[in-house]
């Protein structure tokens, strides 16, 4: 990349490191939850703390033409009992989605299911969610976390996939290994969500420059669009999306073969524009009381979100969103 690009990325990497570091500070999380001024900002990215709140948000999104996936927030549990509680919240959520006729589609993190406690605990907990999903014909996406967990995440997903074939995984374009992972997953007929990556990874395992991450994402997205099993393209990068739309047009790939995915509350203008252009858009909708780590990672993913969020809140306070 260019020297100017390296200089431009340096402050952003510093901010990303700061926000990722803050995401692990549980004491700050407890403080943030109780500070009223944070509520409007968090509400931009999190659909609520309770199941009734998220169901209302899902109904609104469905009415607007969006598909959805639900993330019951929580991660890095410390006991098997906490894992069981997390599985119970997913079972309750899946049942409510089925009862309301909403998209039976959820996303989960393995650290919330006991990955850092023991492999057996994690397998047992995730299997419980998979069985509940299979009984309802629901889809389960296993989210990806730091690079040190990639092999374990893929191994557990592969072992549990037979319980519920309606399942998929996430691959992060920032990781240098992702090209090989994509090839293996295409061969397995796996449904992949491709994202850029929200973790502050070392240069030995990840691309650090924005130009490199974008180039990796586009290369992997094209590969998935050609031969993947209904890939989910998770990005808010309008320029990148424009290039991918030109690619599918040139290749004659219809919108039924893939979907775009975006986070709740992020680039709502772009979400609506894609719908108007006949594209499929699924919104990633998180809810729960443990929103602090998720919220901080959204800021880390793109520190410009801080300014964007404040401006959006001010603008929307004066009238309808554009």
Annotation says 62 is catalytic = no
What token pair was written down for 83?
A: 């894992």
What token pair was written down for 10?
A: 């340096």
Tell me if 173 sits within 8 A of 195, measured CB to CB: yes
Rounded to a whole number, what is the largest CA-CA distance in the chain?
55
From the list 143, 181, 214, 237, the catalytic residue is: 143
Annotation says 193 is catalytic = yes
From the list 193, 210, 280, 297, the catalytic residue is: 193
What residues are annotated to the active site? 143, 193
């Amino acid at each position: 990349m260019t020297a100017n690009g390296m200089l431009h990325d340096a402050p952003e990497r510093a901010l990303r490191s700061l926000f990722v570091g803050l995401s692990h500070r549980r004491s700050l999380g407890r403080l943030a939850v109780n500070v009223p001024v944070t509520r409007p900002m968090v509400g931009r990215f999190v659909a609520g703390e309770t199941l009734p709140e998220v169901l209302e948000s899902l109904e609104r999104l469905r009415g607007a033409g969006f598909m959805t996936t639900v993330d019951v927030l929580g991660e890095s549990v410390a006991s098997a009992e906490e894992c069981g509680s997390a599985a119970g919240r997913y079972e309750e959520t899946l049942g409510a989605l089925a009862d309301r006729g909403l998209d039976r589609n959820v996303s989960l993190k393995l650290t919330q299911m006991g990955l850092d406690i023991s492999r057996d605990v994690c397998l047992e907990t995730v299997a419980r969610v998979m069985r509940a999903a299979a009984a309802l014909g629901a889809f389960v996406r296993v989210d990806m976390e730091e690079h040190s967990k990639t092999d374990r995440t893929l191994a557990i997903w592969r072992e549990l996939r037979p319980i519920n074939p309606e399942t998929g995984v996430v691959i992060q374009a920032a990781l240098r290994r992702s090209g090989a992972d994509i090839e293996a997953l295409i061969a397995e007929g796996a449904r992949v969500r491709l994202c850029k990556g929200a973790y502050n990874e070392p240069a030995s395992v990840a691309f650090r420059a924005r130009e490199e991450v974008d180039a990796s994402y586009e290369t992997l997205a094209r590969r998935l669009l050609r031969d993947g099993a209904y890939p989910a393209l998770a990005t808010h990068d309008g320029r990148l999306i424009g290039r991918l739309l030109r690619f599918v047009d040139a290749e004659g790939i219809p919108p039924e073969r893939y979907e775009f995915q975006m986070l709740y509350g992020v680039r709502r203008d772009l979400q609506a524009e894609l719908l108007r252009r006949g594209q499929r858009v699924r919104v990633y909708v998180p809810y729960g009381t443990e929103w602090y780590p998720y919220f901080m990672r959204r800021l880390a993913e793109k520190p410009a979100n801080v300014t964007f969020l404040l401006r959006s809140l001010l603008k929307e306070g004066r009238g309808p969103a554009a």
